[in-house]
Amino acid sequence: MVDRDDARGFEKSSSGPNPDHPEDPQAQDRTGGLSRLLPAERSLAFADAVIAIAMTLLILPLMEAAGEIGRGSNAALAWFGEHWGQLFTFLLSFALIGFFWIGHHRVFERVQRVTLPLLWLTLAFLLTIVWLPVATALTGYSDSADTSTVLTYVLSIFAASGAWFLIRVYLARHPELHTLKPEQAREGVFHSGATSIMFLLVGAIMLIVPRIGYFAFFFMFLSSPAHMLAARLSRLGADRRVRDEGLASGLSSAVGEERG
């Protein structure tokens, strides 16, 4: 007669590896040990919430400044004239965070599993986003020509762009985590890299020509041609690899036929 505990142990051992069991090493190798704890949907929802809060925090310095408005028929116009620089950086930061959010949301809608390295990269990206309201507030309390403030703001934007670039690189190297096509993943790496370079160029322009100030970010409109060029280079590289692989396969077949 088989003991009940022994029977349960036999059933457990004969059922094979359990992919849902957190102690199963094979399941952890396939999923990075985290997809069961944090599905991709929850990661996306968490990132959306953090980014939304960061965008909301941008308005707080303006809410505080609004309490300084004076009295009179032209009080509002005077307030806008006094705080136009602060308003501009608010709109700029709002647009930039929105730009990052759109890119993140579009990509992570295609992500099916989240591994531990991807989670840490996402947290690093969100850290840079949460810091942007602070960098934006600093611009409202200092001179637009202040080098330290300019560097703080530009490097903050570059940090966010760099973190996003690392995420795209990681996803391109791990196609099993998402449903993006290989060429889409490669183009994403080139796009994010080109954007990071453009942010550095904008920062250099602001430091070399201080009079331009934060209007130098309008040069980011040039990122679209840069993205097109990067995508073109990516496709050329992919076509070259396919052609080289075809030539290598043809040569090996010809050598095999000659030996036969």
Residue 208 lies in a domain: yes
Half-sphere exposure of residue 191: CA atoms within 13 angstroms, side-chain side:
20
Handedness of CA 171, 172, 174, 175 (dihedral sign): positive
Helix (H, G, I), strand (E, B) or coil at 178: strand
pLDDT at 91 over 90: yes
pLDDT at residue 205, as a whole number: 87
Asked if residue 213 belongs to a domain, the reply is yes
Residue 105 resides in a domain: yes
Contact 102, 147 (CB under 8 A): no
How far, in Å, are 5, 35, 185, 197, 244 from residue 177 at the CA level? 39, 10, 12, 27, 28
| Residue 110 or 6, more confident | 110
Q: Between 76 and 248, whose confidence is greater?
A: 76
- pLDDT band with cut points at 50, 70 and 90 for residue 228: low
Task: Give the per-residue pLDDT at 17.
Answer: 41
Which amino acid would we find at residue 196?
A: S
pLDDT of residue 238: 58
- Weakest mean pLDDT among 63-77, 130-144, 149-163: 63-77
What are phi and psi for residue 111, nearest 5 degrees?
Answer: -85, 130
130 close to 106: Cβ distance less than 8 angstroms: no
Is 232's pLDDT higher than 90?
no
pLDDT in tens, 107-127: 999 998 899 999 999 999 999
Domain-located, residue 79? no
> Is 92 a domain residue?
yes
The residue to which tokens 């076509």 are assigned: 239
Q: Report yes or no on 133 lying in a domain.
A: yes
The confidence band for 45, taking pLDDT boundaries of 50, 70 and 90, is very high
How far apart CA 101 and CA 22 sit, in angstroms, is 32
Evaluated on CA atoms 14, 15, 16, 21, the torsion sign reads negative
Instruction: Select from 43, 65, 208 the least CA-distant residue to 126.
Output: 43
**CB of 177 closer than 8 Å to CB of 111:** yes
| 6, part of any domain | no
Which pair of structure tokens corresponds to residue 91?
Answer: 């709109």
Residues forming a β-bridge with 178: 111
Per-residue pLDDT at 2: 42
Give start and end residues of each alpha helix (H) in the chain.
4-14, 25-31, 40-57, 60-66, 75-82, 84-108, 116-140, 147-173, 182-208, 223-259
In a domain, 23, yes or no: no
Across 51-58, average pLDDT:
97
Of the ranges 59-63, 210-214, 219-223, which one carries the lowest mean pLDDT score?
219-223
Range of the domain at 134: 33-59+85-251
Work out the pLDDT band at 11, boundaries 50, 70, 90.
Answer: very low
Q: How many domains does the chain have?
A: 1
